[in-house]
């Protein structure tokens, strides 16, 4: 089965930069959609960025211009610039097939933005 493992979270100051990584394993071929979600305490899980296998990328309006998603082989990255306190959340990597069906979720990595 597909497995996803995130890393790169931590405590950062407002205005800082963070790069999250997600390593996918347990598959052959390609994963059609890889994406990043986040979930803040008491909030619903929110899609923040998604990248299809053909390179098409979409971002949530709230992160557009600050977040960058990038795929390379079995990896997907999320570059976060100009961090805000509102970005504080657990960030999850997600894999979906070409029909949109879920293949796997990562365990999550905590991002805390605080001075």
pLDDT digits (tens, 9 = 90+) for 55-76: 999 999 999 999 999 999 999 9
Q: Report the C-alpha gap between 26 and 28 in whole angstroms.
A: 7
Q: How confident is the model at residue 113 (pLDDT cuts 50, 70, 90)?
A: very high
Phi, psi for residue 98 in degrees, rounded to 5: -65, -15
Q: How confident is the model at residue 16 (pLDDT cuts 50, 70, 90)?
A: very high
Q: Report the C-alpha gap between 15 and 6 in whole angstroms.
A: 22
């Amino acid at each position: 089965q597909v497995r996803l493992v995130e890393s790169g979270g931590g405590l950062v100051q407002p205005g800082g930069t963070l790069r999250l990584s997600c390593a996918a394993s347990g598959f052959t071929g390609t994963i059609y959609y890889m994406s990043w979600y986040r979930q803040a305490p008491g909030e619903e899980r929110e899609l923040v960025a998604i990248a299809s296998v053909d390179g098409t990328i979409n971002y949530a309006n709230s992160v557009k211009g600050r977040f960058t998603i990038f795929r390379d082989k079995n990896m997907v990255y999320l570059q976060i610039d100009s961090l805000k306190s509102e970005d504080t959340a657990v960030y999850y990597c997600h894999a979906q097939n070409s029909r949109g069906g879920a293949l796997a979720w990562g365990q999550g990595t905590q991002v805390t933005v605080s001075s």
